[in-house]
Amino acid sequence: MYKLTKDHEAHATHITDVISDLMYKKYIAGAKEHQSKLWEFTPLQLAYEIRQEAIDQAVYAQTLIDLLEKQEFNSDMSLDEYKQSKL
């Protein structure tokens, strides 16, 4: 069985501290911006909000992939050839 180290614990603590802080700040900002109570949304309203967030994530992910590919791109081949080699 793999044994976790103090580095793992420190990394996990760092990640959870950062995410917790960011989540709290985002929640408060969103509540102020939308002037709403999330727990009063209907299930359908929540589903629509989740879908919008998922779309945002897909856009951000593709943009990040495009930027990383551009950085790593080998000029000896076309960009299409490069992308095909990564599939």
pLDDT number for residue 76: 65
pLDDT number for residue 80: 75
Looking at residues 30-35, what average pLDDT do you find? 92
Residues 57-85 have pLDDT tens digits of 999 999 998 888 888 876 566 767 777 77
Locus of tokens 């050839």: 81
CA–CA distances in Å: residue 59 to residues 24, 53, 56: 24, 10, 5
Beta strand residue intervals within 1-87, DSSP E: none
Residues 9-24 have pLDDT tens digits of 999 999 999 999 999 9
Residue 82 burial class via C-beta count within 10 angstroms: exposed 0-12, middle 13-18, buried 19 and up: middle
pLDDT number for residue 85: 77
